[in-house]
Chain A
Amino acid sequence: MTLLRLESVSRRFPVGSSILGSRKYLAAVDGVSLNVEAGQTTGIVGESGCGKSTTGRIALGLDSPDSGRVLFQGSLLPRIGSKEWRSQRRQMQLVFQDTLGALDRRMTVDALIAEPLEIHAVGDAASRRQRVWELLQAVGLGDDQHMLYPHQLSGGQRQRVVLARALAPKPSLLVCDEPVSALDVSVQAQIINLLVDLQRELGLGILFISHDLRIVRHVSDRIVVMYLGRVVEQGRADVIIDHPAHPYTQALVSAMPRLPGGFDQYVPLSGEPPSATDRPSGCPFNSRCPVAQDICRQSLPELLPLDSKREVACHRVRDR
């Protein structure tokens, strides 16, 4: 069952303000379509500035698209800030990177975890205490931590608090925006495994956003590769990793050390991605693409099915 559906969603932001004269716009997200299935994970991967976080905010209803639609359980999201929107927050929750800034430093761990239950008036005080207790257990926080303040916790422990807070109202969709990027590698693995376990237990649909393909590959059933606001390739995770078709995906995959299933031919990416304000004409990737030809500088490739398992936006993909 499809839990969340984005249909050619676009979002642009004005750059520089001028009362007179024409305004420049930055196309952060440009015609993105993707699905998140119930109980499954869709991963979005791409460099910073590719629009993956904006896509996540739109998917969650924290930002509205300029064009395109977002359907959650088959219906459009309510207007941001409305009563319906607020009560719908129970269903869809966010797990974010900056755990220190996002947790009120004056509140203890159990008060933080109880807060979403209070906001949505779930149960009475006693049952809320019980639920907080269960959540602490579920995310692996011990007896001695529930009375601590955020700054007294480690980064990994704070991320567990954020996770418990997100899970408290029993959501069906979780959007994880770089949830482990601020953590040590060993702690990253713990949090990721916890997330996978919880998903299996609770049947959550997850939209997992990261710049790190190794992590995305580990958690995702489907992978969406974004570049400068556009989807360049998407499909089943194993297919994308084992047989990347787009030159950009190939470069990302080849940069992963010692991948089982082997892609030992390293394709280095030259330079930085161009700024989203002055995107090259034609294929956005043409300035860094090792196989770019004239057509790539002239027309924008459409996202078309390559086989039954994925879609690719590349003029050259059928040539090779």
Chain B
Amino acid sequence: MTATIIGFVGPKVLRAALSILVVVTLTFVVLRASGDPALQILGPSARAADLEAFRRHWGLDQPLSLQYLRYIQAAFHGDFGNSMLGGKPALDIVLERVPLTLALMIPSLILTMLIGIPVGAYAAMHRDSWVDRSVMMLTVLGFTVPSFVLGLLLILIFSVTLGLFPSGGADRAAGFVLPVLTLGIGGAAIIARFTRSAMIEVLSQLYVVAASAKGVTWRQVVRQHALPNAIIPVLTLFGLMLGGQVAGAVLVENVFGWPGIGQLLVVSVANRDHAVVQVILLLVTLTMTSANLLMDLLYGVFDPRLRASSAGSH
């Protein structure tokens, strides 16, 4: 049994670790290829003595292979150098901003599920009705309209014209409404479409038909059989959703002037603040890789057949 679990988990963990290594390596290669790292990280205004000290500290006078190993070692210790602006350690600067971004992403992920699943399920149960068709048309708009356009349109309607909500501001509850809505709508459209097709498939399956024949009501069939079975594949979309949320957060934070990681990233890119950009890139990589790993493992728990087949003959 333990061997089976290791056989199932082992390759996936290894793969996740390899993915992170690939990103770290590529970052190293791109940074080295783009010029003198000392200049890149400390900036052109740095004093010669500082540059020299930096090169010695990072072992830049040593062979490339040794530099690579030291780079990975430093990355593991969370040592990414200091930010160009203010000179604080890059890692601290980024971690300060994490709670604000999470405060945006978590409610919007919940909103995504709260809108997407019921809407998709309703559309599936009233398949081909006018409600279904208009919902499906709206979802096309929902995931093709880029979040920065959507955010600005919401500001135009709800704060400029109607004056209902402020156009941002993380210091009060009302300020959350528009950014969370903007970030959630695109994901909700995808979830709604996915739930709809999953529901349609589940509803057409035989055991549901059989259950409905035994005298239980349609409502019970949906609540007890169809919905739980349709939600499992929807949950596995989570990894994909998270990627969209991360990219969306960058744009939405900039639309609403939200001081999270997304805004920090854009400011750092504009200033070419390599240390901070590196930390954010690795943070995103780590998050996405762990989310995907978690989804893989959960999928194995939900679907034991998968576990058995991938473990093979061990």
Contact = CB atoms under 8 A, between A and B. Distances in A.
Contacts of A18: 312-313
A21 interface: yes
Q: Is the interface of B mostly helix, strand, loop or mixed?
A: loop
Q: Is the interface of A mostly helix, strand, loop or mixed?
A: loop
B314 interface: yes
A285 to B, nearest CB: 32
Contacts of B313: 18, 20-21
A174 to B, nearest CB: 43
A18 B314 CA distance: 9
Interface string B289-314: 00000000000000000000000111
A54 B213 CA distance: 56
Contacts of B314: 20
Nearest to A17: B312
Nearest to B314: A20
B255 to A, nearest CB: 49
5 contacts: A18-B312, A18-B313, A20-B313, A20-B314, A21-B313
A18 B313 CA distance: 7
A184 B313 CA distance: 46
A271 to B, nearest CB: 30
Nearest to A18: B313
Contacts of B312: 18
A20 B313 CA distance: 9
A208 B312 CA distance: 41
B314 to A, nearest CB: 7
A20 B312 CA distance: 11
A175 to B, nearest CB: 38
A20 B3 CA distance: 13
A21 B314 CA distance: 9
Nearest to B312: A18
A86 B88 CA distance: 64
Contacts of A21: 313
Nearest to A21: B313
B6 to A, nearest CB: 13
A233 B94 CA distance: 80
B103 to A, nearest CB: 46
Shortest 3 CB-CB contacts between residues of A and residues of B? A18-B313, A21-B313, A20-B314
A21 B313 CA distance: 9
A252 B173 CA distance: 88
B311 to A, nearest CB: 12
A22 to B, nearest CB: 11
Interface in B240-263: none
B52 to A, nearest CB: 51
A190 B314 CA distance: 55
B211 to A, nearest CB: 40
Nearest to A16: B313
A103 B7 CA distance: 44
Interface in B108-125: none
B176 to A, nearest CB: 52
Interface string B216-260: 000000000000000000000000000000000000000000000
Contacts of A20: 313-314
Nearest to B313: A18
Interface string A1-31: 0000000000000000010110000000000
A21 B312 CA distance: 12
B227 to A, nearest CB: 40
B112 to A, nearest CB: 41
A18 B311 CA distance: 11
A80 B114 CA distance: 60
Interface in A211-268: none
A52 to B, nearest CB: 32
Interface string A257-289: 000000000000000000000000000000000
Interface in A83-121: none
A18 B312 CA distance: 8
Nearest to A20: B314
